[in-house]
Structures are given as C-alpha cells and as structure tokens.
Amino acid sequence: MKLAKKTQDRLVAGLKRYQPIVRKLAERDISEADTVTVIKDMLTDIFGYDKYAELTSEQQIRGTFCDLAIKVEGKVHYLAEVKSAGTTLNDNHLRQAVNYGAHHGIEWIILTNAIIWKVYRIRFGQPIDWDEVYCFDMGAISSRSLEDLSKLGMLCRESISTDALQAYHKQAQILNRFVIAELLQSDAVVGALRKELRRLFDGLKTSDDELRVFLTNDVIKRDAIDGEAPKAAKAMVKKANVAIAKRAAKVAALADATD
C-alpha cells in the first residue's frame, strides 16, 4: 500500500510517542475503561480520526455493547471491541461486535487490547461468521518498515475512501495454505511434477494419480485438505476455473462471429 508522506510522517511520529506507553500497559494492568481511553488517543494521533466527531463510545450507540465505533461522514466503517491491556484476545471476544455488525451491515471489526490489534471481516451468511484479515503488535511494529506501516495505513482515516483493506483481504483469501494445497493437487501441477520427475530421473515411471495420492498422504498436511477451510478453497479454485472457461468461450464466440 502506497502511503502519502503526510500519513507516513504521522504514523512514524505516533509510533514514537505511543510505543513506550503500549509496552508498559500490560505491566500496569489497566482497566478496560482506561484502555479505551488510550485507544481513542491512538486512533486520533496515529490513525488520523477526529476523536470527538468520528469516534463513538458505547453509550452513544444506543446500548449496542460495542466499545467503540469509527464513524466517518455519517457511516460506521469499523466497530472496535476493546479488552483490557492484560487480556489475551480470542474469537469469543468478537461475538458482541459481530452480532451488532451483522444486524447493521457493518463488515469490519477491530479487536484490540491496545497492544495487539486484530482486524476481522464479517461474512454475511448462514450462520454469520468472520475471517481474521491480519493482526499486528503495536509495541513491536517497526516505523522503518514500509510493510509494517502499510498495516497501520489500511486502518487510517485516509484509507476510508479506498479499497485497500478490501483488496488486502481478497489477496489473503487466495494466498493461504488451503488454496495452495488445493492447487498442488490440480491436474496442471501434478502433471508438471510428473514431467519434471521424468526429466530429472531417466526411466522413472509414475502416474498423475500415484503422485496425487503421495502428495495428499505424505506431503501436504492433513488439516490443509480436510475441513471447512479446504472445502472453501476448493470452491474458490473451482469458481476461478469456471470464470476462466467462460471468458475463453466468450473470446472464442467473438472470434467465430468475426470470421
């Protein structure tokens, strides 16, 4: 993600100011209410939001049980579920924010204790579910790393009008071990593997089916090919192949029409 110099300068200055504070929060064992106060300051000084106009606290959103909402130009873009700095974050902490978001069409959730920040996207299906898009440790993130700064940048006020977070989430859905495991079992990859083995080892005889069994039994981890996530990866790959086939058929039809 490309950051404007003004945004990058604010991120670097914000990290310099808040990282020493964040590193001491867990030791101090501050309350959840005090953690919310720190996070409001961070959202303002690091991420660029207006503390009074764009950060809405729980009592202001009509008893929704969500600690903070980030509201820009009349629309809630993020819900933030905040836990005390000493709390270890887990998915159970998301449920209240997810329930609210699901009923109001808000797809992005931030779960944080001021130290660890996790970003989730709600999947509006039956049942409602969510994906963890990415996370970062505010105390460990490097102001000299453009990759680290980009993680912060996707949550900045300036990124509200872009599709940076959506694009990152889409890429993360594709570049994961479940999709890669599915592709390793595909005809194209298994066929290429068989040809490479035959090129390297003269006289070796093996079939695609034999190699596929070997891959699934001995090479790929079992949890990458069994379960709901692998099923979703299989469906994603199938959908992509169908889309490619449709585009090819359309191109062929147009070529025939022009002959």
The CATH code of the domain that includes 47 is 3.90.1570
Q: 129, 162, 195 — which closes off a domain?
A: 162
Indicate if the pLDDT at residue 60 is higher than 80.
Answer: no
Say whether both 105 and 39 belong to one domain.
yes
Say whether both 191 and 144 belong to one domain.
no
Nearest one of 152, 167, 138, 168 to 47, comparing CA atoms? 152
Count, in order, helices (H) and strands (E) of the chain. 9, 6
Say whether both 181 and 107 belong to one domain.
no
Residue 9: phi and psi, rounded to 5, are -65, -40
In one-letter notation, the amino acid at residue 76 is: V
Rounded Cα–Cα distance for residues 20 and 27 (Å) = 12
Q: 127, 162, 197 — which closes off a domain?
A: 162
pLDDT of residue 67: 83
Confirm whether 155 is domain-assigned: yes
Q: How confident is the model at residue 59 (pLDDT cuts 50, 70, 90)?
A: very low
pLDDT of residue 109: 93
Say whether both 34 and 153 belong to one domain.
yes
Say whether both 149 and 183 belong to one domain.
no
Say whether both 158 and 36 belong to one domain.
yes
Confirm whether 9 is domain-assigned: yes
Question: Domains in the chain: how many in total?
Answer: 2
The rounded percent of the chain whose pLDDT value lies above 70 is 97
Confirm whether 168 is domain-assigned: no
Say whether both 189 and 122 belong to one domain.
no
Residues 6+ apart with CB under 8 A from 63: none
CA geometry: angle at 156 spanning 150 and 162, to 5°? 85
Say whether both 103 and 203 belong to one domain.
no
Rounded Cα–Cα distance for residues 225 and 179 (Å) = 9
pLDDT of residue 196: 95
Please give the residue range of the domain that contains residue 231.
177-258
Confirm whether 50 is domain-assigned: yes
Confirm whether 115 is domain-assigned: yes
CA geometry: angle at 148 spanning 40 and 183, to 5°? 120
When pLDDT is averaged across residues 180-196 and rounded to a whole number, the result is 95
Say whether both 244 and 122 belong to one domain.
no
Contact in structure between 154 and 164 (CB atoms under 8 Å): yes
Residues 6+ apart with CB under 8 A from 220: 181, 184, 185
Q: 162, 190, 216 — which closes off a domain?
A: 162
Indicate if the pLDDT at residue 219 is higher than 50.
Answer: yes
When pLDDT is averaged across residues 145-152 and rounded to a whole number, the result is 93
Say whether both 10 and 133 belong to one domain.
yes
When pLDDT is averaged across residues 195-220 and rounded to a whole number, the result is 94
Q: How confident is the model at residue 241 (pLDDT cuts 50, 70, 90)?
A: very high
Say whether both 144 and 53 belong to one domain.
yes
86 or 45, which is more confident? 45
Confirm whether 170 is domain-assigned: no
Mean pLDDT, the chain, rounded, equals 89
pLDDT of residue 64: 53
Indicate if the pLDDT at residue 110 is higher than 50.
Answer: yes
- The region of weakest confidence among 115-119, 144-148, 252-256 is 252-256
Q: How confident is the model at residue 116 (pLDDT cuts 50, 70, 90)?
A: very high
Say whether both 64 and 192 belong to one domain.
no
Q: How confident is the model at residue 101 (pLDDT cuts 50, 70, 90)?
A: confident
> What's the token pair of residue 88?
């270890």
Confirm whether 54 is domain-assigned: yes
Nearest one of 66, 65, 70 to 43, comparing CA atoms? 70
Q: Render pLDDT for 33-47 as a digit per residue (tens, 0 to 9).
A: 899 999 999 999 999
- Is the dihedral angle over the CA atoms 120, 122, 128, 129 positive or is it negative? negative
Confirm whether 72 is domain-assigned: yes
pLDDT of residue 104: 82
When pLDDT is averaged across residues 226-234 and rounded to a whole number, the result is 90
